[in-house]
A and B are shown apart, each in its own frame.
Chain A
Amino acid sequence: MIRAAAAMVKCLEAEGINCVFGYPGAAICPFYDELYSSDIHHVLVRHEANAGHAASGYARMTNRPAVCIATSGPGATNLLTAIATAYADSIPLICITGQVSTDQIGCDVFQEVDITGAAEPFVKYSYLVKDANDIPRIFKEAFYLAGTGRKGPVLIDVPQDVQNVQIDFEYPYDIKMRTYKPTYKGNPLQIQRICDAVNKAQRPLLCVGGGIFLSGAEREVAEFAKKACIPAVSTMMGLSIFPTDHPMYVGMIGMHGLRSANTAMNSCDTIIMIGARVGDRAVRSPSFLAEGKTVIHIDVDPAEIGKNIPVDIPLVGDCKVILSELCEMEYDNDHSDWIEQVFDIKNAVPENEETEGYINPKVFIRKLSDRLPDDTVCVADVGSNQIWTCNHYGFRKGARFLTTGGMGTMGYSLPCGIGAKMAAPEREVVVICGDGSFQMQLMELATIIQENISVKIIVMKNKRLGMVRELQTKCYDDRLIATDIGNYPDFVALANSYGIEADRVSTMAEAEEKIEKLASSKKAYLLECNVYKLESTL
């Protein structure tokens, strides 16, 4: 017999977890007490949302569920934003929360909140553990649910008294769930129909989304594009599947995407959406787009197919499995005229223009990516800084881009970068954020220094909530309100106060030298970039 809290730790060990992110409190103390004698490394973040975001970064780099922990009440509610963010991007998380003791549930006692109820709309599943003996089964199921099918966060809420019960521990080998059976293999008839449609198409286009990463199909999708001679565009979540300069890759679509990519979307006659959910930021008027086109939609989640766009050939299954199946088929059309046409559409190049005393963020980000290693993990926050990164960072083979596409949660980038670096310590991790968003996560500078996590941070300081400022200028008659965040703080001095090396760059002339210093540093490093307040997103 062991304490249920010890069983929880053993479950994590059995799942191969060796790093977790969390923040303690009374209701989760029995679990922490058992973590004390485990080899699992606990990263103490400075806000529970960041535990979730860090786990998200970790999960995305390992492609396995990652674990975050919070206490009951405010700890659990702080975690909510991260859970919702993970849900929107289908990131597999195991979220463990402490809960008040079973006999107190429903009495509105100190730090009691119905967290399974609150999180219900944006978890894949949740458990409120009432019987400690269920813990091994629940953990087994939770990892299975989070990490298979359409991935997502699973919440396990464990009352404090339950954590202290003695139970017989055996980690189950099998999962007995009669209801949950995700489809992996594609229906052969539909595969044939897709192959026929591609062969018939004059102007086929592949649109790849975050699902490609989630199923680990990066290699297969490139092979399919090559074999079937189909040019590809990506959603924001699909950025870096193809290197930016890949001969078959056009660019990112959507309201902030490239002209070439959007034109290709509009002028193709057959579109294969794969691992992309046709979100409104990617495709603004789906039914208009679908008109006169053959729409093929491949996704592991049947509910996504036909939800936002009318579909001619639906196919449910795992991207990797299906792409391998598609690669087995014969394709006899080289679509070369179409490919030529697609790559003929030119995009606006960012002018090298400079405003006195400021850097040009678009050119700067290009220079930054030129200097960083090929396999750098680049994390962008939300706002203009995110779009600058999407459109100007040059992803080479092996690079990885991370951002929050579905929720656009400010404050995601640094904790996500922390998680990514913990998962892939040998890779360079660069975080690009705005001065507004950085202030929603700057407490994590402490985590970085305490854990010695050498992420590189770029803060684009335009003294504005730039993207919202731009919206007010364009759509609200330039009536600017609540978007001026002033020239605070001095981010260099701030970083230094944590013992983190930092510098500032204000002209393009010194950009390369400053980037060099950042790139060659072996430790965490922050670079504050002075950006003109009216710098445009696109």
Chain B
Amino acid sequence: MKHTVSVLVENRAGVLARIAGLFARRGFNIDSLAVGETNDPTISRITIVADGDDHTAQQLEKQLNKLVDTIKVRTLSPDELLARELQLIKLNATPAQRSEILTICEVMGGKIVDMTPTSITIEISDSPEHLQRFRALIEGYGIKEIVRTGTIAIQKGVVTIR
């Protein structure tokens, strides 16, 4: 099962290595990881999506809490979170295919950010599920390269993690 964990940590050198090392040691595979400063520059937020059973997830939350640099850990349940991921996709595209691809992008919320006679580069940001659907639509043209950020997530409504 996929778990989305939001961790607030001290914004210091070495913290990311500690967190990542912890996942590796406890046999947890990280699917994606995103780090960034929060509105308080002394605090960073790390969003981790990882795969594992519930017991391991629970253990992991406890082990994360145990790290001296950890301020707060929250495992977000799928129905309370808004998740976003940004992808840059370089696609094979002949001039004849362009308008088709443009239509897909328009409908699905993609943006063309670069173009050559043989390729198109698309930028798209949405939920991981939406991006999966988008991918299915464009795959047929031939993907040359994909670059994606880790998933970031925030809770719905007024609640915050701090």
Contact = CB atoms under 8 A, between A and B. Distances in A.
Given A121-B21, A302-B62, A306-B58, A128 B14 contact: yes
A120 B21 contact: yes
A302 B65 contact: yes
A303 B62 contact: yes
Interface string B37-77: 00000000000000000000011001101101111000000
Given A121-B21, A121-B25, A307-B59, A301 B71 contact: no
A499 B27 CA distance: 51
A121 B21 CA distance: 7
A179 B70 contact: yes
A83 to B, nearest CB: 15
Contacts of B10: 179
A303 B68 contact: no
Nearest to A177: B68
A303 B66 contact: yes
A145 interface: yes
Contacts of A180: 68
B113 to A, nearest CB: 36
A47 to B, nearest CB: 27
A102 B112 CA distance: 46
B18 interface: yes
A120 B18 contact: yes
Contacts of A16: none
B96 interface: no
A125 B63 CA distance: 13
B18 A303 contact: no
B134 to A, nearest CB: 39
A301 B63 CA distance: 10
Interface in B85-112: none
Interface in A303-318: 303, 306-307
A178 B66 contact: no
A145 B58 CA distance: 24
Nearest to A154: B68
B132 to A, nearest CB: 34
Interface centre among A128, A177, A303, A307 (most CB of B within 10 A): A303
A117 B25 contact: no
A180 B67 CA distance: 8
B42 to A, nearest CB: 9
Contacts of A116: 14
Interface string A300-339: 0111001100000000000000000000000000000000
A113 to B, nearest CB: 16
B69 A179 contact: yes
Interface string B20-41: 0100010000000000000000
A124 B18 CA distance: 11
Contacts of A302: 62, 65-66
B63 A303 contact: yes
Nearest to B68: A125
B68 A179 contact: yes
B71 A179 contact: yes
Contacts of B66: 150, 301-303
Contacts of B69: 179
A294 B78 CA distance: 33
Contacts of A120: 17-18, 21
Interface string A142-167: 00010000100000000000000000
A407 to B, nearest CB: 16
A534 B149 CA distance: 61
A61 B37 CA distance: 44
A532 to B, nearest CB: 42
Closest 10 CB pairs of A and B: A303-B62, A125-B68, A303-B66, A179-B71, A180-B68, A303-B63, A120-B21, A302-B62, A121-B25, A179-B70
27 contacts: A117-B17, A120-B17, A120-B21, A121-B21, A128-B14, A130-B13, A145-B68, A150-B66, A177-B68, A178-B71, A179-B10, A179-B68, A179-B69, A179-B70, A180-B68, A301-B66, A302-B62, A302-B65, A302-B66, A303-B59, A303-B62, A303-B65, A303-B66, A306-B58, A306-B59, A307-B59, A307-B62
Given A117-B17, A120-B17, A130-B13, 19 more contacts: A120-B18, A121-B21, A121-B25, A128-B14, A150-B66, A177-B68, A179-B10, A179-B68, A179-B69, A179-B70, A179-B71, A180-B68, A301-B66, A302-B66, A303-B59, A303-B62, A303-B65, A303-B66, A306-B59
